[in-house]
Structure 1
Amino acid sequence: MVRTAINLYSVRDLDLPMGEILERCAAAGYDGVQFSGGFGGLSADELADRLDDLDLAVTAAHVDVDEMESDPTEVASFHETVGADGAVVPWLGPEQFESREATLETADRVDAIAADMLEQGFDLHYHNHDHEFVAFDDTTGFEVFADHTDALLEPDVGWIETAGHDPVEILERYGDSVEIVHMKDMADGEFCEIGDGDVDMQACADAARGVDAEWLVYEHDEPEDPAASIDTGAEFLAGL
């Protein structure tokens, strides 16, 4: 059964202690959270205790690629303590997908990180934006990357839609490499609240279940009201 989570990047501007943010996520009904580089000054042990108290699970976390390359052992140690079993490359720039050659070099770089993380017992995932879908040689950077990398994929359905591609088709095509799906909505390339944009969220949720994904993760990069968005995302995902 697929579980629901919120990527905490969505509430980075919420001026509340991390403990209270986690309480609100639990109260909203999410099964878990996805960390994205901010821990509110809490240690790994303090976070683990708070998450345990709230019965919140943790997905593979978004971690800066430089951190994973410089100290994969520390990355794995911290995130394993809080309950994660993997890490996600959250962003690599457009220049790294601008040609087939550049994309293959990027795949090699990600695979080197994946090998280092695997030595720590962690799977590595890659989170896309729209710029990976640059077209060349009758294909796209995303397809070349996905077909060559050993890393898992974390498809972001909003960015896929914005790039002019069908997120359902991507989920079905690469389903063997998908454990986490980012449920982000977009309207004409702009961030919007989930359910108000161009993405067929029900179809994406159905496709995620069809490929046995483990997590549907709500993310809104620029919510007008981050506190209210916590509840909006949870309610929407629960209805899918």
Structure 2
Amino acid sequence: MTRTALQTHTLRPLEEPIDRKLDRAVDAGYEGVQFTPDLGHTTPANLLEQVRARELEIAGCHVDRELLEDDYEEAIEIYRTLDCSALVISSYDPEAFESEAGIERAVSHLSELADRLAEDGFTLHYHNHYFEFTDLGDRTGYEVFADLSDGAIRLEVDTGLAFYGGADPAALIDRYADRIDLVHLTDTIPGSDETVHAELGSGEVDLRACVERSAAANVEWLIYENGRTDDPATSIVDAIDVMSELLES
């Protein structure tokens, strides 16, 4: 069953302690939360206690790739304590996606990391932006990345950013269904940096198709994120209304 979660990055402008952000997620009706690398001014053990006290679940964590590379043991201890096995690389160097050779190097790099994490009981997921969808001839950069990393790296499709990059996010979810546990359900209006992120339901993404494909693929979590909302508190409430209606229809 596909469930709803909130990416805490959406609430970053409020500059509130993490416990207040968790309260907002519960009050709005989300079933889970997904954390950024910044876990707030608390310990992983305390954070897990706060999450469980609110009967939330952790829908993966976006991680600091440099920390994973430079201090691997410290990094995995954080997420082992959080009881979170799904670790997400939130971005990669855009220049790497300008050529197949660059993508091959990126895949090799991330696959080594994914293999090491798998030995310790973790899965590695890649969250797309829009630069991955550069046309490289017969395929986009994202398609090259997905094809080369088949079996090693799981995919967290961000629907709005994929659409902004020129892709059909529902088709991506369908095509790579067996590699997707997490979907960022986001909206966008292409053509302007000001509208890369739009309030859910106000943009041009076919959200219904994305939710239908996600449910059909047994995606575990639909995760709402909006990195540029002017009113985060209202945004997360409006978004859960949209998500719930789409999941129920």
Q: Counterparts of 2:233 and 2:116 in 1: how far apart (Å)?
A: 37
Q: TM-score, normalised by structure 1?
A: 0.97
- What secondary structure sits across from 1:58 in the alignment? strand
- For the 8 Å contact 1:85–1:123, the answer to whether it is kept is yes
Q: Counterparts of 2:71 and 2:120 in 1: how far apart (Å)?
A: 11
Q: Counterparts of 1:90 and 1:218 in 2: how far apart (Å)?
A: 14
Q: Counterparts of 2:13 and 2:83 in 1: how far apart (Å)?
A: 24
**Aligned positions of 1:111-122 closer than 5 A:** 111-122=111-122
Give the deviation of 1:74 after TM superposition: 2.2
Counterpart among 134, 153, 157 of residue 151 in structure 1: 153
- What secondary structure sits across from 1:38 in the alignment? coil
Q: Counterparts of 2:71 and 2:218 in 1: how far apart (Å)?
A: 32
Residue by residue, what CA displacement relative to the aligned partner does 1:185-234 show, whole Å, maximum 9, x if unpaired?
A: 00124121000000011110000011111110001011111111221222
- What secondary structure sits across from 2:14 in the alignment? coil
Matched, 1:210 2:216: yes
Equivalences, count: 240
Residue aligning to 1:176: 178
Give the deviation of 1:238 after TM superposition: 1.2
Residue aligning to 1:103: 103
Amino acid at match of 1:28: A
Q: What is the alpha-carbon root mean square deviation over aligned residues?
A: 1.1
Residue aligning to 1:185: 187
Matched, 1:226 2:232: yes
In structure 2, list runs of 5 or more residues that go unmatched: none
Q: Counterparts of 1:71 and 1:4 in 2: how far apart (Å)?
A: 32
**Aligned positions of 1:131-150 closer than 5 A:** 131-149=131-149, 150=152
Give the deviation of 1:83 after TM superposition: 3.1
- What secondary structure sits across from 1:182 in the alignment? strand
Q: TM-score, normalised by structure 2?
A: 0.93
- What secondary structure sits across from 1:96 in the alignment? helix
Q: Counterparts of 2:44 and 2:223 in 1: how far apart (Å)?
A: 22
**Aligned positions of 1:49-128 closer than 5 A:** 49-128=49-128
Q: Counterparts of 2:188 and 2:93 in 1: how far apart (Å)?
A: 20
Amino acid at match of 1:230: I
- For the 8 Å contact 1:126–1:152, the answer to whether it is kept is yes
Amino acid at match of 2:224: Y
Q: Counterparts of 1:235 and 1:72 in 2: how far apart (Å)?
A: 39
Q: Counterparts of 2:20 and 2:163 in 1: how far apart (Å)?
A: 33
Residue by residue, what CA displacement relative to the aligned partner does 1:25-81 show, whole Å, maximum 9, x if unpaired?
A: 011111100001222201111111111110010012111211111223322221232
Give the deviation of 1:82 after TM superposition: 2.1
Give the deviation of 1:236 after TM superposition: 1.6
User: Which consecutive segments of 4 or more residues in structure 1 shift more than 4 A?
Assistant: none
Q: Counterparts of 1:161 and 1:169 in 2: how far apart (Å)?
A: 11
Name the % identity. Answer: 35
- What secondary structure sits across from 1:61 in the alignment? strand
Residue aligning to 1:197: 203
Q: Counterparts of 1:33 and 1:49 in 2: how far apart (Å)?
A: 14
Q: Counterparts of 2:78 and 2:226 in 1: how far apart (Å)?
A: 25
Q: Counterparts of 2:101 and 2:16 in 1: how far apart (Å)?
A: 45
- What secondary structure sits across from 2:205 in the alignment? coil
Q: Counterparts of 2:107 and 2:137 in 1: how far apart (Å)?
A: 17
Give the deviation of 1:17 after TM superposition: 1.3
Amino acid at match of 2:103: T
